[in-house]
Amino acid sequence: MNLMPDPSFYASPKIAMEAPVETVAFTLLLSPDGSQPDGLAVIDVDPKSKDRGKILKTLFMPNKGDEFHHFGWNACSSALSPLTGHAFLERRYLIIPGIRSSRIYVIDVKDPLDPQIHKIIEPEELFAKTGYSRPHTIHCGPEGIYVSTLGGGGPDGTEGAPGIFIMDCRTFDIVGRYEIERGVQDKHYDFWWNLPRDYMVSSEWALPPQFENGVVPEDLLANKYGHSIHFWKLRERVNIQTIDLGANHQMALEIRPAHDPVAQHGFVGVVVDTTNLQGAIFTWWRNPDGSFEARKTITIDPQPAEADDLPELLKGFGAVPPLVTDIDLSLDDRFLYVSCWGTGEMHQYDVSDPMAPKLAGKVEIGGIVRRTAHPNGKAFGYGPQMVEISRDGKRVYWTNSLYSTWDDQFYPGERGAAMVRADVGPDGGLTLDEDFWVEFPEGYRSHQIRLEGGDCSTDSFCYPSV
């Protein structure tokens, strides 16, 4: 136990931006056919290292079929909360859920070059204590670890709505469900909060039968995937408002609130508009009376394409939708990064005015039709997917796999795992690092990234930036 706060806990986003540069990254590896166990790769990302981009260590799990997807820290800067913080915690453990198995691994990375399995939580414990399944997003809060789920009970995860549960931040025992009153919320995906303002925002993707075996075209065209965001009184655990973004705005995924708690706005990405195949970003904000509103502030057009160049799922549309599958916001709340997994683009928007974003940079790599190679000449399979930003905002990393069955639908055939890095100009703009390319083990795909000491989709801050 630490008697002083972990040095990687930062009171404000500005202080975090001034922290030491990351030297290692942690990336999830998944075996798409379940023939091998999933794993964790430790990657050298030190800008000064001759081994930059090389895997330093791998840790593979004792089980198969987990389908690693998202993961997160046991503790972060939210531990400095003046209300219920635990300053004695260490940012030491990675919590890795198996989205398909409903099994959860707690990995000790105190020595990042020697990661160890600390604890395994079997699915039976999750079912018994919460009634939820398919654990997904991890966020460390002041009083515990919050985990969102995509499924309820029963074999297909449709017995009851999915939601959030809480784990003890020291023992990693499952405490129980988060929700006291969920209102109309019946699907789940991401969530995040403004701690001092005491509210949380959540989003929704789909129920397990709608995603586990791939996209269900009939459900998508009938607008049956998630299209709402939900606002909660964080401490009371009550849903206070739901905003329907419009049934045509299918799959409202990543929630990215402003990092500075003084600001009361944020962003949510929408995978596809079924009326025109556009991708979209909505800005949401809180009014002085405590109510919330949301407005579409970014649209990204599809790319025309010949049917012969398209997978079966898209042949009838004559175009490639952007497929906005991840977004991330820099710690200074200035740049929003948008992964266009279908068209093979990473967009950078200046969101200094959150109601009027401006495109500031763009990189083309991968894509269903264009298949743009990396500057080093290597093929980048699939498209830009999970994106992570360094604390100082100068480096952006991303991988290329979305979800095994969706990969196979949109990008038939094995395309290989990839992780790349782009450098950010002082006033915006993105340039791919020609020398940063991670070679992953054969038969694996790569998903979410975490950076040593915290990153832009991990930490919650309790104090304003100066």
Q: What pLDDT is attached to residue 32?
A: 96
- pLDDT above 80 (res 1): no
Pair 462, 80: CB distance under 8 Å: yes
Q: How far is CA 466 from the centre of its chain?
A: 28
Q: What pLDDT is attached to residue 86?
A: 82
Q: What is the DSSP string of 406-425?
A: HHHHHS-S-----EEEEEE-
**Residue 306: is it exposed, middle or buried by C-beta count within 10 angstroms (0-12/13-18/19+)?**
exposed
- pLDDT above 80 (res 270): yes
Please name which of 52, 162, 175 lies closest in space to residue 99, comparing C-alpha atoms.
Answer: 162
Q: What is the DSSP string of 322-387?
A: --EEEEEE-TTS-EEEEEETTTTEEEEEE-SSTTS-EEEEEEE-B-SSS-BPPTTS----S---SE
Q: How far apart are CA 454 and CA 465, in angstroms?
A: 17
Q: Rounded mean pLDDT of the chain?
A: 96
Pair 348, 327: CB distance under 8 Å: no
Q: How far apart are CA 15 and CA 18, in angstroms?
A: 5
In the DSSP assignment, the letter for residue 204 is B
Token pair recorded at residue 159: 């017995």
With respect to residue 6, please indicate whether it lies within any of the assigned structural domains.
no
Query: What three-state secondary structure class fits 158?
Result: coil
pLDDT, tens only, 351-401: 999 999 999 999 999 999 999 999 999 999 999 999 999 999 999 999 999
Q: What is the DSSP string of 60-71?
A: E-SSS---B---
Q: What pLDDT is attached to residue 464?
A: 96
With respect to residue 8, please indicate whether it lies within any of the assigned structural domains.
no
Q: How far apart are CA 335 and CA 332, in angstroms?
A: 8
Average pLDDT over residues 23-42: 97
With respect to residue 401, please indicate whether it lies within any of the assigned structural domains.
yes
Average pLDDT over residues 180-184: 97
With respect to residue 461, please indicate whether it lies within any of the assigned structural domains.
no
> What CATH number does the domain containing 270 carry?
2.130.10.10
pLDDT, tens only, 228-268: 999 999 999 999 999 999 999 999 999 999 999 999 999 99
With respect to residue 436, please indicate whether it lies within any of the assigned structural domains.
yes
Range of the domain at 363: 13-451
Order across the sheet with 430-437: list the strands.
387-389, 395-399, 419-424, 430-437
Helix (H) or strand (E) segment spanning residue 28: strand 24-30
Average pLDDT over residues 304-326: 95
**Residue 35: is it exposed, middle or buried by C-beta count within 10 angstroms (0-12/13-18/19+)?**
exposed
Q: Are strands 319-320 and 324-329 parallel, antiparallel or unpaired?
A: unpaired
Q: How confident is the model at residue 462 (pLDDT cuts 50, 70, 90)?
A: very high
Dihedral (CA of 197, 198, 199, 200) sign: positive
Q: What pLDDT is attached to residue 2?
A: 62
Pair 74, 91: CB distance under 8 Å: yes
Q: What pLDDT is attached to residue 373?
A: 98
pLDDT, tens only, 63-72: 999 999 999 9
* Whole-number percent of the chain with pLDDT over 90: 96
102-252-389 Cα angle (round to 5)? 80
With respect to residue 241, please indicate whether it lies within any of the assigned structural domains.
yes
With respect to residue 243, please indicate whether it lies within any of the assigned structural domains.
yes
Pair 264, 285: CB distance under 8 Å: yes
Q: What pLDDT is attached to residue 401?
A: 97
Q: How far apart are CA 271 and CA 325, in angstroms?
A: 6
Token pair recorded at residue 411: 């990008």
Please name which of 304, 302, 334 lies closest in space to residue 318, comparing C-alpha atoms.
Answer: 304
With respect to residue 464, please indicate whether it lies within any of the assigned structural domains.
no
Q: Are strands 174-177 and 228-233 parallel, antiparallel or unpaired?
A: unpaired
pLDDT, tens only, 75-125: 999 999 987 878 789 999 999 999 999 999 999 999 999 999 999 999 999
Q: How confident is the model at residue 45 (pLDDT cuts 50, 70, 90)?
A: very high
Q: How far apart are CA 281 and CA 295, in angstroms?
A: 9
pLDDT, tens only, 425-447: 999 999 999 999 999 999 999 99
Give how many domains the chain has, as a whole number: 1
